[in-house]
Amino acid sequence: MTGNFYDKVAKKFGEYHTRARYIKECIDEDPEVVFESKLFEVATPEKIALDVGCADGRFTLSIASYFRKIVAIDVSKEMLKSAKNLQQKKRVKNVEFEEQDAKHTTFKDESFDVVYNRRGPSNHKEAFRLLKLGGCHLQIDIGEKDCQEIKKVFGRRQGYGQKDESRLKKDVEKLKTIGFDIVYAKEFFYSEFYPTYQDFDLFLQGVPIFEDFDSKKDRKFLEKYVSKYSHKKGIQLQRHRVVTVSKKS
């Protein structure tokens, strides 16, 4: 995952959203809803949170009123620019956007009550250092089976060929080794359906499934995938997410 890719996305679309249309169909719960509700369970108006890899800050700004303050970091200058613009529009005062690398931040030990990561870079060790005793780390991560079929058709990208390594197991083991107590850990499988080829193409331009995705050069792969995975509901993409909540006790 590179800041450079996200700089390009922010420059092209002005935000971390391509406006591609899709519908989501979850087998049980929606992992994004679960992640958000877990975050609300630990949020109070006294607490300070760190958002790791905030991108255009849309999510950060939407939950800011649940905390005293959120410090939101990212390495993409362009995403941070979009985030600050959105903050001005939304007139949210208790969020500070900063350019910082998640792995080596400049914050002091035990600066935060909550550290969360919504599909951002993994930073378990740094999160442990930054959390106060009793503080919580929440993460929604991309599972190893995410977009497996399209990666097979394209023959490349993001974790391709690593499908046997369980992301859930890996995350839990890493968190425990660092010293966290696991409060919650679950994986989720769901589908997205894109109504048209154009929507699906647009979606792929804004996500790092293939950072080098090129609508023209990759047309043959895309057409192959679309013909194989088109249903009544649209072009199907299978997703896999892992949600963990852990505590520094």
Ligand X SMILES: C[S@@+](CC[C@H](N)C(=O)[O-])C[C@H]1O[C@@H](n2cnc3c(N)ncnc32)[C@H](O)[C@@H]1O
Report which of 75, 123, 122 is spatially closest to residue 98, judged by C-alpha positions.
75
Residue of 42, 43, 47, 59 interacting with ligand X (CB under 6 A): 59
Query: Is residue 71 within the footprint of ligand X (CB under 6 A)?
Result: no
Which residue is at the shortest CB distance from ligand X?
Answer: 53
Least distance from C-beta 238 to ligand X, angstroms? Answer: 18
Q: How many residues would you count in the chain?
A: 249
Query: Is residue 75 within the footprint of ligand X (CB under 6 A)?
Result: yes
Selected range binding ligand X among 67-75, 194-202, 221-229, 230-238, rule: CB under 6 A: 67-75
Q: Are strands 48-52 and 69-74 parallel, antiparallel or unpaired?
A: parallel
Residue of 42, 43, 70, 73 interacting with ligand X (CB under 6 A): 73
Query: Is residue 54 within the footprint of ligand X (CB under 6 A)?
Result: yes
Report which of 141, 156, 142, 167 is spatially closest to residue 225, judged by C-alpha positions.
156
- Residues with Cβ < 8 Å from 219, sequence gap 6 or more? none
Cα 147 to its chain centre, rounded Å, is 15
Residue of 74, 113, 192, 218 interacting with ligand X (CB under 6 A): 74
What are the beta bridge partners of residue 140?
A: 118, 243
Q: Closest CB to ligand X among 53 and 234? A: 53
Q: Which of residues 116-135 bind ligand X (CB under 6 A)?
A: 118-121
- DSSP secondary structure letter of residue 196: S
Q: Closest CB to ligand X among 147 and 226? A: 147
Q: Rounded CA gap, 162 and 223, in Å?
A: 25
Q: Closest CB to ligand X among 79 and 226? A: 79
Q: Rounded CA gap, 76 and 53, in Å?
A: 9
Interface residue list for ligand X (CB under 6 A): 1, 3, 6, 16, 53-55, 59, 73-76, 79, 101-103, 118-121
